[in-house]
Amino acid sequence: MKRWLLGIFCVVSGSVFGADRPNVLLILVDDLGFSDLGCYGGEIATPNLDKLAAEGTRFTQFYNCAVCVTTRSAILTGLHPRQKGGPRLGKNKITLGEAMKAAGYETALTGKWHLGNSAPNRPIDRGFGDFYGLLDGCCNFFNPAKPDPVFYNGGRQRTFTHNGKPVTEFPEGYYTTDAFSEYTVGLIERFSKTEQPFFLHLCYTAPHFPMHAFEEDIAKYRGKYSEGYHALREARHRRQTEMGLFETPPKLSPEDPKSSDFRYDYDVPDWENLPEAEQKIEEARMEVYAAMVDRLDQGIGQVLDALQENGVEKNTVVMFLSDNGGCASWPTAKKEPGFRDYNEGIPVGDERGYEFCGKGWGWAQNAPFRQFKTWCHEGGIATPMIVRWPGVTEAGAITHQPGHIIDVMPTLLELAGSEYPAEISGKPILPVEGKSLLPIFRGETREPHDTLAWELYGNRAIRQRDWKAIWNQGTEKWELYNLKTDRTETENLASKHPDRLAAMARDWEKWEERVSANAVE
């Protein structure tokens, strides 16, 4: 055991751990759009996650941190991301793995880590007793040992390990989504035989690029996306309204035209004027994306079945969410020729290629919201969130209470009958910034955060109750929206409420100063 962890036990050892403490399965997927799942209005076949939603509670106002790495640091620490001056998981922070291990849980993380490739910042260094997966941000789904294309990342070799040992060979038919599901099934079988409760953090790399899928899954979606991006958004918005997903059905936001030189500021392609050949490639990109989500749901179904088959389903809290909104990332103008040369003659989805879902679909996947991954509009930071706790969460419920991934740490500690420590081995750590979600799980009203705030690549946002202020990189001026009446941020109220906006802007500056000041351990 790490010496610096010993102090945690001194803090929590006074708690009497009951034998009926629930297991926790925390599923985090990668770059899933808000409206991709059937239970959030999507057309993709996701029967297992739809069933989970029917047996549990869906959130409509749950937030992440707009991109992979910031979300992962926040969900693991209960803290807003510290992005300046030090490691994301410094010794002035405790992780979920460390906290749940100290509370007497078996701990394991499977899949994507993205918070450090070497000691002391690997999962096995930070409280997870078992790790199988990718220490980096993305890899080839069929062969993680294959280097990135030179056009994308200079031919970078990704790091895949099993409990500290490199994994460099992968068998024929290997696919990361399947492997992560199967490995987690094995963990459930193993841990269900022990007397300790378990905490499993299952972090899929899907449906993050590169676009890789099995032909049998792609075939289900051939021809389904021939009407383009706007038609997809309109259909999803219509289904969301019909199922009563939102308390008040919001307007469907229009596309945001490119207005700056910000790296992730794109125009949505004009579908009707795309050459037929380009339309077919675009269709194929979304077909493969849908296949990746379909396969993801299949794997989650296997994991959920394993809970039932091993007799632990009724005492396991399952939480499902995404690390950011749908991804519209696209090669820069300088890299685009290399991208097209690399993929020439290779069908989208083939393991030899390296494709992206692209500017139009990455936007459409977040219906009804504006923008996508990396932006602080709702399309970048709002995630589908499903929670099932048999006997506690109301089956088929929808909650419109806001929540944030920093709330996961205090929630899990309360489930574990434990407390967040003030120090580790005599050294103070940053106080947790989240609030327990258990009142919402129980169907009660939780006092919301007074303030939630975001910053990423110069994009900014701050939410105070129903009001949200946004500052976009490139345009660099504050906008103001009332999310109760305008969840899709279509009516800028900055000129009508200048004093409120000025006060919120000042509060964002104070927040940013605070999280920057204690970024260094």
Would you name the residues annotated as active-site residues?
68, 114
Contact 46, 40 (CB under 8 A): no
Fill in the DSSP letter of residue 157: P
**Per-residue burial over 233-266, b = 16 or more CB atoms within 10 Å of its CB, e = otherwise:** bebbbebbeeeebbeeebebbebbeeeeebebbb
Residue carrying the six token digits 């500021």: 265
User: Cis before residue 210, ω within 30 degrees of 0?
Assistant: yes
Count of CB atoms situated within 10 Å of the CB of 66? 28
Beta bridge partners of 162: 132, 165
The DSSP-derived string for 374-431 is: T-SSHHHHEEEEEEE-TTTSPTTEEE---EEGGGHHHHHHHHTT----SEETTEE-PP
User: Cis before residue 120, ω within 30 degrees of 0?
Assistant: yes
Contact 508, 453 (CB under 8 A): yes
Spatial separation of the C-alpha atoms in residues 381 and 66, rounded to whole Å: 5
The H-or-E segment that residue 243 falls in is helix 229-243
How far CA 232 is from CA of 185, 225, 235, 246, in Å, comes to 34, 7, 5, 19
Beta bridge partners of 404: 63
- Pairing assessment for the beta strands 382-388 and 57-63 based on DSSP bridges: antiparallel
Spatial separation of the C-alpha atoms in residues 408 and 75, rounded to whole Å: 6
Paired tokens of 181:
């599901």
Count of CB atoms situated within 10 Å of the CB of 340? 11
The DSSP-derived string for 492-521 is: --TTT-HHHHHHHHHHHHHHHHHHHHT---
Contact 113, 133 (CB under 8 A): yes
Spatial separation of the C-alpha atoms in residues 103 and 437, rounded to whole Å: 19
Spatial separation of the C-alpha atoms in residues 80 and 65, rounded to whole Å: 8
